[in-house]
Amino acid sequence: VKHHVSAAAGSGPGEADLAVVALVGRPNVGKSTFLARASGRFVETANAPGTTVLAERRAVTIDGQAAWLVDLPGTRSLADQPAGCEPFWTFLDAAQPDAILVLVDAGDLGRHLPLALACRDLGLPIVVAANLSDEAERRGIEVDAGRLSQLLVAPVHHTNGRTGHGVRAATRDAIRLAQQRRSVRRGERLPHATQPAPIYPPSLEHDLQLEARQLIGIRSLGASAVDPSGIGALVARGVVSPRGGASLARTADLDATRRALATRWAAQVERLRATRRPLADRLADLVTSPWSGLPIFAAVTVATFLALVLVGGGLATALSAAWSAGVSPVLASVVGAVVPVPALARAVLWALDGGLLAMVSVGIPYILTFYVLLAALEDSGYLTSAAVLLDRLFNALGLPGRAAVPLLAAAGCNVPAIYGTRILGSRRARILGSFLVTLTPCSARTAVVVAALAPFAGPLVAFAAFGVALAITLGAGLAANALIPGRQPAMVLELSPLRMPVPRHVVAKAWNRFRGFVVTAAPIMLIGSFVLGLVWESGAWSPLAAALAPVTTGWLGLPPIVGIAIVFAFLRKELALQLLVALAVIEYGAVGANLGSILTPAQLFVFAIVTTVSIPCAATLATLVQELGARVAAGISAASLGLALVAGGVIARVLGAA
């Protein structure tokens, strides 16, 4: 995986030459809030779907001094290597920073300072922001910034991203140092003669010097064969100093020493005061203890689902009523006037009226609502904290416990759920999670199953169909986990503290993701509906049904027209049943309006299962392509189609329908 850094803002003249400040910090230290404060924009383009950007940069000007601020992903060490990715320092190579702004938790310096030390070792100027100072204050911890800055030989600022306190001052310092280094590199200014005094034991410093000399040697050789890690190249390009490169190569040796130093320094600069434990900490204990945590998790999960159903459902009804009252008649008359051929006009209306209505009545109510809920849950820190209790359950499927959230969302709509798999971390977990998401019946498919089975076979049978679908999903998940290589061993995970989400941040995050969804799904819904309209209005479906007959009738034991309904469910899942009824009326006459008279309950059951399990709808497929690439999307689609056909055929034989 190659990491790219791209310009988020338009790159005007001169911007290419700006100094670069990289933002580095452990996860949950509040970097995105800090960045929002520093740049004055609560826009999270880094997480917006549709971009391959993993690190975002923004031009920031403070007191007339401008620089790029590059937001790097949260990391625990510069050599951190998430599954399937290159080590963290490759981001530095991409960003080419002139200075590093290190965010540390003022309330837990012992754990955060080692990263600051690692950044300092790179040979780049650093500024340390002792962030989350409000949380530290509540825990009775006060940091002597002056003393810490003497120890680090670097500016240290108290900052609070939530209120913005200290953010500008810290950023200004970082920009100043970055500009200085940049002019040194361009030769406009002499480098500082003073080097910070060595802080490690002499033997370690000696090892670092030896390593540094080797790295300089690699530079002169210029061969990649002797530099497999790429650190030599990093040094050669001047991104880090030779000693900085050596410190990257020797991370494992330095870790313990840095940790010991950090513990000692933390003890020297912290002033502790007895306080009552903050409410957030006491809540966090409740949330992660199994006895209280599991019921709370169940409650939050159900509440999320209910909020989605109630708010989403209410909005959906209101919006579709408004659409049919206000927009549909206008569209009908306009399209009728503009398009001369009546059949074509009707096909266009399928797209503009039906397709857009589907967007409006699904996208805004369900998806936007879900994004707001998800962003709030993410920012509160609750998710990673609580879901750890479910880890074991989901581990069997190759997923971490927090997979519960996207899978739940999938019951509403698969598209946001696939974006939601971003919280799963590794690519493997995302693929497995997305596969399960596509197998989870969304609200549209649930409606099809209920409407096809409940009236003709009884509600119990409809219920049984969901049981069968669930069994298929679990079985497929277990099999996929066993088949896809690269099983991740269980890892030590930091649980985020609980904090109140910043509303502006939540809204910005949700809105950006929603925009991404609209950009992806809207064209597909329009085109899909148009194609559906064309096939329908032109009568082209009849030969298609004949072509599909060997599978539909021979294997699944269903009348040929059902094949058409299943195939076109790819374009619009929620229309599968209406299509089937309409086709039945054409094929069998008025009697076809009652599905129970042309299909046996067993055949309806097969239809329901195949519709539910088979290929995800077009919008879901597009999301898969966008998020995981065409190959994975094709693989998931093929797997679910195969699964649907096998399951359908087997069920047909068991029930005696074929």
Partner 1 sequence: LTIHAATLSSRKWADRAPAGWLLARAFIGEGRASASWSDDELIAASTRDFAVTLGLRGTPVLTRVARYRHAMPHYTVGHLDRVAAASVALAETPQVVLAGGAYRGVGLPDCIAQGRAAAARLAQRLGGTADPNGPEPPAGGDASETTLRELPVGTVASVAAIAPKHVRELAVEGVGPGTEVAVLGRAPLGGPLVVRAGRARIAVPRGISEGVTVRTSSEPPA
Closest CA to 53 of 11, 5, 12, 92: 5
- What are the backbone dihedrals phi and psi of residue 5, each rounded to the nearest 5 degrees, phi first? -120, 125
Q: Which is nearer to partner 1, 265 or 419 (CB)?
A: 265
Shortest gap between Cβ of 491 and partner 1 (angstroms)? 7
Shortest gap between Cβ of 422 and partner 1 (angstroms)? 20
Rama region for 28: left / alpha / beta (φ>0; ψ in -120 to 50; rest)? left
Q: Which is nearer to partner 1, 15 or 80 (CB)?
A: 80
Q: Which is nearer to partner 1, 330 or 393 (CB)?
A: 393
342 to 401, contacts with partner 1 by CB under 8 A? Answer: 385, 388-393, 395, 401
Query: 65-71 and 55-62: which strand pairing?
Result: antiparallel
Is 527 near partner 1 (CB under 8 A)? no
Q: Which is nearer to partner 1, 201 or 539 (CB)?
A: 201
DSSP letter, residue 124? S
Q: How far is C-alpha 286 from the geometric centre of its chain's CA atoms?
A: 27
107 to 166, contacts with partner 1 by CB under 8 A? Answer: 107-108, 110-111, 114, 139
Q: Which is nearer to partner 1, 111 or 168 (CB)?
A: 111
79 to 98, contacts with partner 1 by CB under 8 A? Answer: 80
Q: Which is nearer to partner 1, 266 or 595 (CB)?
A: 266
Shortest gap between Cβ of 262 and partner 1 (angstroms)? 8
- From CA 538, how far away is CA 366, in angstroms rounded? 33
Q: Could you give the count of Cα atoms lying within 13 Å of 427 in the half-sphere of its Cβ?
A: 13
Which one of residues 9, 199, 280, 294 is an interface residue with partner 1 (CB under 8 A)?
Answer: 294
Closest CA to 214 of 255, 254, 245: 245
Tokens read off for 566: 């299943």
Number of residues that bind partner 1 (CB under 8 A): 44
Which one of residues 492, 543, 590, 631 is an interface residue with partner 1 (CB under 8 A)?
Answer: 492
Tokens read off for 61: 């000007």
Shortest gap between Cβ of 281 and partner 1 (angstroms)? 9
Q: Which is nearer to partner 1, 279 or 519 (CB)?
A: 279
Shortest gap between Cβ of 110 and partner 1 (angstroms)? 6
Shortest gap between Cβ of 107 and partner 1 (angstroms)? 6
Q: Which is nearer to partner 1, 355 or 401 (CB)?
A: 401
Q: Which is nearer to partner 1, 499 or 513 (CB)?
A: 499
Q: Which is nearer to partner 1, 83 or 491 (CB)?
A: 491
- From CA 495, how far away is CA 497, in angstroms rounded? 6
Shortest gap between Cβ of 126 and partner 1 (angstroms)? 19
Q: Which is nearer to partner 1, 132 or 308 (CB)?
A: 132
Is 77 near partner 1 (CB under 8 A)? yes
Quick note: the x/- pattern for partner 1 over 251-290, rule CB under 8 A, is -x--xx--xxx-xx--xx---------------xx--xxx
Is 494 near partner 1 (CB under 8 A)? yes
Shortest gap between Cβ of 385 and partner 1 (angstroms)? 8
Shortest gap between Cβ of 24 and partner 1 (angstroms)? 14
Shortest gap between Cβ of 66 and partner 1 (angstroms)? 34
Match 């540094």 to its residue by tokens: 212
What burial class does residue 497 get, using C-beta atoms within 10 Å of its C-beta: 0-12 exposed, 13-18 middle, 19+ buried? Answer: buried
Shortest gap between Cβ of 80 and partner 1 (angstroms)? 7
CA angle (121 as vertex; 117, 125 as ends), nearest 5? 90
Tokens read off for 545: 């049904």
Quick note: the x/- pattern for partner 1 over 235-254, rule CB under 8 A, is -----------------x--
Tokens read off for 310: 């109630």
Shortest gap between Cβ of 37 and partner 1 (angstroms)? 24
Shortest gap between Cβ of 231 and partner 1 (angstroms)? 18
Q: Which is nearer to partner 1, 150 or 324 (CB)?
A: 150
Stretch that binds partner 1, among 89-97, 104-112, 211-219, 471-479 (CB under 8 A): 104-112
Closest CA to 445 of 576, 271, 330: 576
When computed from its CA atoms, the radius of gyration of the chain, rounded to whole angstroms, is 29
- Please answer whether residues 86 and 97 qualify as being in contact, where contact means their C-beta atoms are separated by less than 8 angstroms: no
557 to 586, contacts with partner 1 by CB under 8 A? Answer: none
Which one of residues 315, 327, 495, 507 is an interface residue with partner 1 (CB under 8 A)?
Answer: 495
Q: Could you give the count of Cα atoms lying within 13 Å of 477 in the half-sphere of its Cβ?
A: 25
Helix or strand or coil: residue 126? strand
Q: Which residues of 399-410 are buried (b: 16+ CB within 10 A; e: fewer)?
A: bbbbbbbbbbbb
Tokens read off for 544: 């298609």
CA angle (79 as vertex; 172, 142 as ends), nearest 5? 45
Q: Which is nearer to partner 1, 401 or 592 (CB)?
A: 401
583 to 642, contacts with partner 1 by CB under 8 A? Answer: none
- From CA 658, how far away is CA 655, in angstroms rounded? 8
- From CA 293, how far away is CA 306, in angstroms rounded? 20
Q: Which is nearer to partner 1, 17 or 291 (CB)?
A: 291
DSSP letter, residue 618? H
How far are the Cα atoms of 161, 175, 278 from residue 140, in angstroms, in the given order? Answer: 19, 31, 9
- From CA 362, how far away is CA 304, in angstroms rounded? 17
Tokens read off for 380: 């509160």
Tokens read off for 356: 């857009």
Shortest gap between Cβ of 496 and partner 1 (angstroms)? 9
Q: Please give the single-letter amino acid code of residue 110.
A: G
Where along the sequence are the contacts to partner 1 (CB under 8 A)?
76-77, 80, 107-108, 110-111, 114, 139, 252, 255-256, 259-261, 263-264, 267-268, 284-285, 288-291, 293-294, 385, 388-393, 395, 401, 489-495, 497
